[in-house]
Amino acid sequence: MAVIERLLAPESSFQTRFFFLAKRFVPGETIASALDAVRLLNADGLTGTLDFLGEDVTNVEDATRTRDTYLDMLAQIEREAIRTNVSVKLTALGLLVDEALCVSYLEQILDRASHLPDPFVRIDMEGSSVTDATLRVFENVFSRHRNVGPVVQAYLKRSPADVERAIELHARVRLCKGAYAEPATIAIADMPSIRKAYLRMAEALLGRGTYPGIATHDPRIIDAVKAYARQQGIGKDRFEFQLLYGVRPELQRSLARDGYNVRVYVPFGTHWAGYFYRRLTERKENVFFVLRSLVAR
Ligand SMILES: Cc1cc2nc3c(=O)[nH]c(=O)nc-3n(C[C@H](O)[C@H](O)[C@H](O)COP(=O)(O)OP(=O)(O)OC[C@H]3O[C@@H](n4cnc5c(N)ncnc54)[C@H](O)[C@@H]3O)c2cc1C
């Protein structure tokens, strides 16, 4: 275990040498590289949401570094007039170190973002050990800042209630399937049932929610959402599709060409190993892509 941790440490030469494998999903390690990627997306009519990779920080210094990176990123987005907002993981802002500090850092980010043309800040959802704390922090700051919204994971059995609460608050929700390994006591395990749960919550958010983000690459869900919106007379301006950088880029562009709002999640930074690992374990297509880039070298 210690060996793996050393290999995956951001400063290790293993990580540096193997970054080319992650490059399909993580455009770079710096703010500048992420902004370059969003500029290209903007040129094709897509918007972005930038995420500084890193999670589970265990000390105040790392949480402060995350806060400073977001403040710097927001200043650069404003200066360069790039069409993107930001996504943040609360454990990277010190949630596990000191919840009050995490709230104060998040509020500083929300204050800075409020001066931008797109002031919205998305709070990513992490593993179930922090679901309650993440939603607690969200509701705490939402009472003072409206430019923030949570993520709901369709695989969690609790999620229909979380969706209803967000609808009641008029909060903007990103709905995704969920990317963490969770026990069967709290999470639905089979894909058809996750898809069914996803669609039920998507319909609730489309019908009664506030500008939901439909985050998926799943063609069955995307087609069902398009059909539902059409049948119910819900305009294309009332929601957005969200997809991950490097995943089904041709679909991202074809949705935008069809007039849908499309936002691409663009992660960057040196802590790319955990994110990269989640992409590999959720889809064989992603593994094939990485194997092809190894063979091509
Ligand atoms: C914008 C965005 C933000 C997210 N934020 C969070 C978050 O905050 N918390 C969290 O837990 N999770 C998050 N996720 C991850 C999410 O929970 C899923 O793990 C991830 O999106 C995979 O589920 P899926 O619905 O996209 O499709 P999957 O279940 O992976 O795939 C469904 C179908 O989509 C197609 N497909 C998918 N990927 C590919 C590919 N690479 N090539 C070709 N076809 C493909 C295939 O037809 C496949 O059968 C986010 C996802 C997105 C898109």
174 is catalytic: yes
- For 149, list phi and psi in degrees, rounded to 5: -150, 155
Q: In angstroms, what is the span from residue 279 Cα to ligand 1's centroid?
A: 8
Question: CA 185 to CA 192: how far, in whole Å?
Answer: 18
Q: In angstroms, what is the span from residue 178 Cα to ligand 1's centroid?
A: 8
CB neighbours of 190 closer than 8 A, spacing ≥ 6? none
Q: Report the nearest-CA residue for atom 46 of ligand 1.
A: 218
Tens-digit pLDDT string for the chain (297 aa): 455 555 556 556 666 667 777 888 999 999 999 999 999 999 999 999 999 998 789 999 999 999 999 999 999 999 999 999 999 999 999 999 999 999 999 999 999 999 999 999 999 999 999 999 999 999 999 999 999 999 999 999 999 999 999 999 999 999 999 999 999 999 999 999 999 999 999 999 999 999 999 999 999 999 999 999 999 999 999 999 999 999 999 999 999 999 999 999 999 998 888 888 888 888 888 877 777 766 666
Question: CA 218 to CA 223: how far, in whole Å?
Answer: 9
The residue among 108, 97, 103 whose CA lies nearest residue 60 is 97
Question: CA 48 to CA 188: how far, in whole Å?
Answer: 30
**Model confidence, pTM:** 0.93
The residue among 138, 152, 151 whose CA lies nearest residue 187 is 152
Residues at CB less than 6 angstroms from ligand 1? 124-125, 151, 153, 176-180, 215-219, 242-244, 247-248, 265, 282-283, 285-286
195 is catalytic: no
Question: CA 106 to CA 112: how far, in whole Å?
Answer: 10
Residue among 125, 148, 218 whose CB has most ligand 1 atoms within 8 A, to mutate: 218
Can you list the pairs that 252-258 forms with residues at least 24 positions away whose Cβ atoms lie under 8 Å?
Answer: 252/41, 252/46, 253/44, 253/45, 253/46, 255/222, 256/44, 256/45, 256/46, 257/45
Q: Is 243 helix (H, G, I), strand (E, B) or coil?
A: strand
Q: In angstroms, what is the span from residue 143 Cα to ligand 1's centroid?
A: 31
Q: Which two tokens stand for residue 184?
A: 């069967």
The residue among 273, 285, 294 whose CA lies nearest residue 246 is 285
Q: In angstroms, what is the span from residue 81 Cα to ligand 1's centroid?
A: 29
Q: Which two tokens stand for residue 65?
A: 């570094």
Question: CA 115 to CA 133: how far, in whole Å?
Answer: 27
Question: What is the CATH number that goes with domain 27-271?
Answer: 3.20.20.220
Q: In angstroms, what is the span from residue 218 Cα to ligand 1's centroid?
A: 7
Question: CA 26 to CA 140: how far, in whole Å?
Answer: 31
Give the model's pLDDT for residue 27: 94
Give the model's pLDDT for residue 1: 41
CB neighbours of 292 closer than 8 A, spacing ≥ 6? none
Can you list the pairs that 278-285 forms with residues at least 24 positions away whose Cβ atoms lie under 8 Å?
Answer: 278/179, 278/180, 279/25, 279/244, 279/247, 282/179
Q: What atom in ligand 1 is closest to the CA of residue 154?
A: 17
Pick the catalytic residue from 24, 67, 122, 174: 174
Give the model's pLDDT for residue 270: 86
- For 208, list phi and psi in degrees, rounded to 5: -125, -5
Pick the catalytic residue from 24, 51, 124, 279: 124
Question: CA 33 to CA 53: how far, in whole Å?
Answer: 13
